[in-house]
Amino acid sequence: MAVKYSQNFQAIKARIRRMPELAENAVSGAVKKNIMEINTIFHDGIKKNSLGLEPLAEITVNAKRRSGMKNPENPLNCKGDDAEERAYMNMMNIMKVSKGWKLYPSRRMHWSKKITLALLFKIHEHGATIRTSAGTFIKIIPRPALMLAFQKWLSQRKKNDPELKTAFKEFIVNGNEKLLNNFADYITRQEAKIGQAD
């Protein structure tokens, strides 16, 4: 008997919220050239504010401006490259794994010395609700820079790919993850085809 997935609006929204997680899984096991390209798009997209991230609230922009931050309107970019490997946009590490290469956030402390980059990545990529010491709650909306960088890379390399469209549609609309489970293998297969064509 086939599994039936919920197609109600809330279920579809919940699946869309899981897309950053899927993007993270997709960039584990890809070939090194792809990983480096995605990392460059991630860095440049944050630096130039070209990923389409949700804009900052005016109160946050003004606070960044008063602190002398560079490009205060740009989400996820405060000190920029001046903070070197402790800046958000420079935090990604590239590591060899058994089936390819992996892109993952550094465990170093953020330049603010208040939180690790890896934890900050989870908060920004997925969104979070944080309780303050005063007992109030702050909602941080998702700004999934890695997911958007991955999507941008994918669109540049494989425009109008029917297999890819089908996989994402099956997941978002029907909740079926089967076509996405081996996504890194799919990317590697496509890369091999591109290499043969060249």
198 residues of the chain, pLDDT tens digit each: 444 445 667 777 777 777 666 665 555 556 777 888 889 999 999 999 999 999 999 998 999 899 888 788 999 988 878 878 888 999 999 888 776 778 889 999 998 888 999 999 998 988 888 887 788 888 888 999 998 998 888 777 665 566 666 777 777 777 777 766 655 566 656 555 544 444
Short-list 25, 5, 24, CA closest to 15: 5
Q: Rounded to an integer, what distance in angstroms lies between the CA atom of residue 142 and that of residue 128?
A: 8
| Both structure tokens of 14 | 């919940």
CB atoms within 10 A of CB 176: 17
Residue 98 DSSP label: T
Q: Sheet harboring 92-97: ordered strands across?
A: 28-30, 100-105, 92-97
Q: Rounded to an integer, what distance in angstroms lies between the CA atom of residue 127 and that of residue 1?
A: 36
Q: Which amino acid is at 82?
A: D
